């Protein structure tokens, strides 16, 4: 394979289109969440992931799992958790069965903010996807996003 291999060039163009779609969506969602709720897209994602925890078996996520879910490094996730904890949106506590483990829960204030921000997030997401669907290079990717069913779990 060479740098001018048509298959690699096509793959690079496809990756570029996917990156462009992601960037457009994230930018639109970020602006809307910041303007309406003083919340970043990453903060929203973290609150959303943590709000889905439950008290049943395996219901609480370890920091590594949280990091994978919000697509950040563990250290970046820890810093983000700390910022949201300082704002009173999250709380941390020791795992009752493993004193080395620390769990994070969304506070009532965090749930309220998430509930207020969810329509803003969804509207911005819909707007970004609708706009991207008008671009012939991005339309197939938008279609693929619409066809995904159910939650995606990191490996």
| Per-residue model confidence as pLDDT tens digits over 15-46 | 999 999 999 999 999 999 999 999 999 999 99
Judge contact between 51 and 111, C-beta under 8 A: yes
Q: Please give the helix or strand (H or E) that residue 104 lies within, else none.
A: strand 102-106
Residues in contact with 21: Cβ distance below 8 Å, sequence separation at least 6, in sequence order? 132, 138, 141, 142
Go through the domains of the chain in sequence order and give each one's CATH number: 19-147 (1.10.10.10)
Residues 6+ apart with CB under 8 A from 54: 60
pLDDT band with cut points at 50, 70 and 90 for residue 145: very high
Number of helices followed by number of strands (H, E) in the chain: 6, 2
pTM: 0.85
Q: Which residues contact 148 (CB under 8 A, 6 or more apart)?
A: none
Q: What is the pLDDT of residue 102?
A: 80
Task: Determine the average pLDDT of the residues in 121-150.
Answer: 93
Supply the pLDDT for residue 141.
Answer: 94
Q: What is the pLDDT of residues 87-122, one digit of tens each?
A: 999 998 887 777 777 888 999 999 999 999 999 999
| pLDDT grade for 3, boundaries at 50, 70 and 90 | low
């Amino acid at each position: 394979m060479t740098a001018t291999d048509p298959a690699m060039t096509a793959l690079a163009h496809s990756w570029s289109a996917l990156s462009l779609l992601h960037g457009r969506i994230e930018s639109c969602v970020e602006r809307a969440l910041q303007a309406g709720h003083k919340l970043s897209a990453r903060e929203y994602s973290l609150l959303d992931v943590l709000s889905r925890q439950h008290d049943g078996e395996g219901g609480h996520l370890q920091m590594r799992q949280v990091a994978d879910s919000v697509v950040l490094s563990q250290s970046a996730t820890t810093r983000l958790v700390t910022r949201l904890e300082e704002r009173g949106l999250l709380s941390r506590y020791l795992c009752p069965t493993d004193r080395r483990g620390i769990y994070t829960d969304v506070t009532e204030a965090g749930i309220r903010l998430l509930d207020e921000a969810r329509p803003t997030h969804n509207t911005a997401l819909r707007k970004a996807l609708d706009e991207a669907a008008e671009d012939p290079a991005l339309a197939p990717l938008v279609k693929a996003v619409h066809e995904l069913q159910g939650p995606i779990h990191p490996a």
